[in-house]
């Protein structure tokens, strides 16, 4: 390995306190269409590939959740005319694996809801374009999928909403805005079984992240800045013990396993961080809502967060490769149900590994082409056992060279750890469950 290597260790107590329950909080197992369309029809080397018979089925399964009218993607892929106009861009995007946005490398964690195109699907699209990108016969065109509108998890027991609309100016990108919302629940708090975020304007909402505020700090930050909410980028501006789900296209809600306790602390506020993009020529307004579903148990496990986080590191100006390693100890038997990686703009790659007491290395997640705009919470198909004594390790790689097109500083400058736009972070979060005390 070339370049500098910086190592850090997270204290276990800090890991629990600072764990952001779901940074993009995406339930990858959610089904967003009424029924998945049929897979592309099998083709032989001599058979002609058409939009109606094969290609549109790939788009329906993997692309149209975002690429349809009224959604956040910059163009639709629902009709032949849509796809033909973008045919060369589509081939480039799928060959490079830029689209669909699924960053996890196969073989490092076994996840639900995989959006990654198969090699056969990529070849099918490339062959369609190479053969002239023909439309095909009308009778081959499948019915369009029915995407849900409104609440997908049923009527919530409580709805939290932004207290006033926020206006996104025209022709703006990457607006990060936090809104502080009071959570009013009776007694000593309520237990949640599901949470769902419902964007008010999907044309401009890229993704949503939520954070619990137990101190009221978000109110101070809101008051210090004019207009609804306050500016935020890497986080909400304070240490948060968790969140209540989030949203991105295709991942509308989060449901926790039965028997797991997920509690709202009394007096808490919910900070909703929205990432807005408005490429249009007119301003757009948004009022996003969060629906909560409650349960009274019984419970035998509780949600538990593990955070491996490195701080006080420095990335030299112009350095093409700097590696930062973060580690944290697991002090009780856990079952990992999801994993999430977090860096900022000059992040290049991350690998998350569980170093088990037996000496075995359990791969949890690997991302080779980091993209700040696509931070997913990856759910394991089956819980991964993390016995007490396990070490969770995150290896983060950064590119602070002039050749990194995503580098916000031109020329490159020294980058330090921090929450700001031009700072960097190295964090891996493992969403887990632990047995309640006195339960076996």
The mean pLDDT of 380-401, rounded to a whole number, is: 98
Identify the H or E element spanning 301. strand 301-310
Contacts of 102 (CB under 8 A, 6+ apart): 114, 115, 116, 376
pLDDT of residue 244: 85
Q: Average pLDDT, whole number, for the chain?
A: 87
Q: With a cut of 80, say whether residue 12 has pLDDT above it.
A: no
Comparison of pLDDT for 40 and 79, the residue scoring more: 79
CATH topology for 4-21+301-435 is Jelly Rolls (2.60.120)
- pLDDT tens, position by position, 249-273: 766 678 888 899 888 888 899 999 9
Domains 4-21+301-435 and 158-295 share a fold: yes
User: Taking 60 as the threshold, does the pLDDT of residue 25 lie above it?
Assistant: no
What are the residue boundaries of the structural domains of the chain, listed by start?
4-21+301-435, 51-140, 158-295
Q: Which of 233, 143, 247 is nearest to 205 (CA)?
A: 247
Question: Which of 22-31, 172-181, 195-204 is predicted with the least confidence, judged by mean pLDDT?
Answer: 22-31
Q: Tell me the pLDDT tens digit for each residue of 308-345.
A: 999 999 999 999 999 999 999 999 999 999 999 999 99
- pLDDT at position 18: 33
What is the C-alpha to C-alpha distance for residues 102 and 430, in angstroms, rounded to an integer?
18
Longest dimension (CA), the chain: 69
152 vs 117, which has greater pLDDT? 117
Q: Which helix (H) or strand (E) holds 219?
A: helix 217-223
What is the band of 187 on the pLDDT scale with cuts at 50, 70, 90?
Answer: low
Q: What angle do CA 254, 65, 101 make, to 5 degrees?
A: 80
**Minimal CA–CA distance to 391: which of 311, 325, 328?**
328
Asked if pLDDT for residue 189 goes beyond 80, the answer is no
Peptide bond preceding 142: is omega within 30 degrees of 0, i.e. cis? no
What predicted TM-score, i.e. pTM, was given to this entire model? 0.78
CATH number of 158-295: 2.60.120
């Amino acid at each position: 390995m070339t370049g500098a290597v910086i190592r850090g260790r997270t204290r276990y107590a800090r890991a629990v306190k600072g764990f952001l329950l779901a940074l993009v909080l995406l339930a990858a197992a959610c089904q967003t269409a009424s029924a998945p369309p049929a897979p592309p029809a099998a083709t032989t080397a001599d058979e002609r590939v058409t939009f109606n018979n094969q290609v549109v089925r790939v788009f329906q399964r993997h692309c149209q959740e975002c690429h349809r009218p009224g959604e956040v993607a910059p163009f639709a892929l629902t009709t032949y005319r849509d796809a033909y106009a973008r045919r060369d861009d589509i081939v480039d995007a799928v060959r490079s694996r830029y689209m669909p946005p699924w960053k996890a490398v196969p073989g490092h964690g076994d996840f639900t809801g995989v959006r990654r195109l198969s090699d056969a699907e990529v070849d099918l699209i490339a062959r369609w374009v190479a053969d002239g990108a023909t439309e095909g016969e009308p009778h081959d065109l499948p019915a369009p999928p029915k995407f849900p509108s409104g609440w997908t998890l049923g009527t919530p027991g409580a709805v939290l909403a932004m207290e006033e609309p926020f206006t996104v100016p025209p022709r703006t990108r990457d607006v990060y805005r936090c809104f502080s919302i009071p959570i009013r629940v009776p007694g000593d708090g309520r237990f949640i079984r599901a949470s769902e975020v419902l964007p008010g304007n999907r044309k401009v909402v890229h993704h949503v992240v939520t954070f619990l505020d137990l101190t009221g700090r978000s109110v101070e930050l809101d008051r210090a800045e004019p207009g609804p909410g306050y500016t935020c980028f890497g986080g909400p501006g304070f240490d948060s013990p968790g969140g209540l789900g989030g949203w991105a296209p295709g991942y509308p809600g989060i449901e926790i396993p039965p028997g797991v306790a997920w509690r709202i602390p009394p007096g808490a506020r919910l900070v909703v961080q929205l990432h807005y993009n408005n490429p249009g020529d007119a301003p757009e307004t948004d009022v996003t809502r969060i629906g909560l579903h409650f349960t009274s148990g019984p419970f035998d496990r509780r949600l538990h967060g593990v955070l491996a986080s490195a701080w006080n590191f420095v990335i030299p100006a112009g350095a093409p490769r700097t590696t930062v390693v973060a580690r944290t100890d697991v002090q009780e038997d856990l079952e990992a149900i999801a994993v999430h990686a977090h860096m900022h703009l000059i992040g290049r790659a991350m690998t998350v590994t569980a170093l088990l007491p037996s000496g075995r290395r359990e791969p949890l997640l690997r991302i080779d082409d980091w993209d700040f705009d696509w931070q997913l919470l990856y759910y394991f198909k089956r819980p991964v056992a993390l016995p007490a004594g396990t070490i969770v390790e995150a290896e983060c790689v950064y590119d602070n060279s002039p050749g990194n097109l995503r580098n916000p500083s031109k020329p490159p400058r020294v980058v330090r750890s921090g929450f700001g736009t031009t700072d960097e972070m190295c964090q891996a979060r493992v969403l887990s469950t632990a047995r309640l005390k006195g339960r076996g």
